[in-house]
Amino acid sequence: AKGKKLTIDVWDSYNLALYTINTCELVQDSRGLWYACITVKEHSKTICGVNQTGIDLGCKDSATASNGEVLATNLTHKYAPKLGLAQRAKNKKRVKAIHAKIKNTRQDLIHKFTSKLVKDNNVIIVGKLQSKSFTSSKLAKSVYDAGWFEIKRQLTYKCEYAGCHYAEVNEHYTTQTCSCCGSRQNSPKGRADLGIREWFCECGVTHDRDVNAAKNILALGLERLAVGIPSV
C-alpha cells in the first residue's frame, strides 16, 4: 500500500557481511525466478593442496583426473524423458523449469569437482581441446552437456585465489600413448575408436582410456614446468 515500507529478510548463508560489496545485479532465470548476483572487493583466500593432477576432458565423462576421479555431468540426462514430455505437450513453463534444473545441477557438479581439485592439488594441468571442432560435429550436444568451458573457467579463478598452478597443454596423442612405456602400438586411435574405454599395452599394462590420457597430460605439464615455467 502507498506510504508503507517493504521489508525483506535476507539469509546471509555466504557471510557477505564480512566483505565490502562491490556490485549487485538482479537477474531473472528462464523460470522467472529472480537472483541477486553480488561481487565483493576481496575474495576470501583459500589454500591449495600438495598433490599434482592432470585432467582429461571428454564427452562420456566431462573430466577425468589422473588419480581416477571423475566428473560425470551426464547425470543430467535423467531429466531427458520429462523434458521430452513437456516439449511434446507444448508446456513452455515446464520446459523452462526443466532446462533451469539441468543447468543448475550441472553447475553444482562442476563447482564441487573443481573445488575439490584445488583443495587437493597445487598443480593442475588440463588438456587443451579445440572445442570448435567438436561443436560443429555430431558431438555438439555432448560437448555442451560436458561443460568444458565452465570447468576451465572455474579452475582458472579458483587456482588463482588459492595459489595453485593451472596450465593447459596440447593433448595430441595423450590418449594413444601408454603412460608407462610411451608405446602407441595397441592404443585406440581418434574418434573412430571413441567406444574403446580400456586397452592393453604391449608392455603388459591395462589402461583406462581417460585416466591414461590424464596421466600423460600431467607429465606434459610437469615437463613444461621443469624447463622454466614458474611453479607455485
**Alpha-carbon distances, residue 104 vs 6, 76, 148, 157, 158 (angstroms):** 30, 10, 15, 19, 19
Task: Summarize the confidence of residues 127-145 as an average pLDDT.
Answer: 59
Q: How far from chain centre, in Å, is Cα 131?
A: 14
| pLDDT at 133 exceeding the cut of 60 | no
d(CA 90, CA 123): 48
pLDDT computed for residue 231 by the predictor: 39
| pLDDT at 227 exceeding the cut of 70 | no
pLDDT over 90 for what percent of the chain?
30
Does 28 reside within a domain?
no
Q: How many domains does the chain have?
A: 1
pLDDT in tens, 65-103: 999 999 987 777 788 888 889 989 999 888 888 888 888
| pLDDT at 20 exceeding the cut of 70 | yes
Does 105 reside within a domain?
yes
| pLDDT at 152 exceeding the cut of 90 | yes
- 39 close to 22: Cβ distance less than 8 angstroms: yes
**Alpha-carbon distances, residue 108 vs 42, 73, 80, 105, 138 (angstroms):** 23, 10, 18, 5, 26
Does 180 reside within a domain?
yes
Instruction: Quickly state the pLDDT bin for 207 (edges 50, 70, 90).
Output: confident
The CATH number assigned to the domain holding 220 equals: 3.30.420
Q: pTM, whole model, 2 decimals? A: 0.73
Does 66 reside within a domain?
yes
Does 38 reside within a domain?
no
pLDDT computed for residue 215 by the predictor: 94
Q: What secondary structure letter does DSSP report for 139?
A: T
Classify strands 165-170 and 121-128 as parallel, antiparallel or unpaired.
parallel
Of 74, 55, 76, the closest CA to residue 66 belongs to 55
* Parent domain of 81: 51-226
Does 30 reside within a domain?
no
Task: State the average pLDDT for the chain.
Answer: 80
Does 67 reside within a domain?
yes
pLDDT computed for residue 232 by the predictor: 38
Name the E strands within the chain: 21-28, 34-40, 51-57, 63-65, 70-71, 121-128, 165-170, 198-200, 206-208
Does 6 reside within a domain?
no
Q: How far from chain centre, in Å, is Cα 134?
A: 17
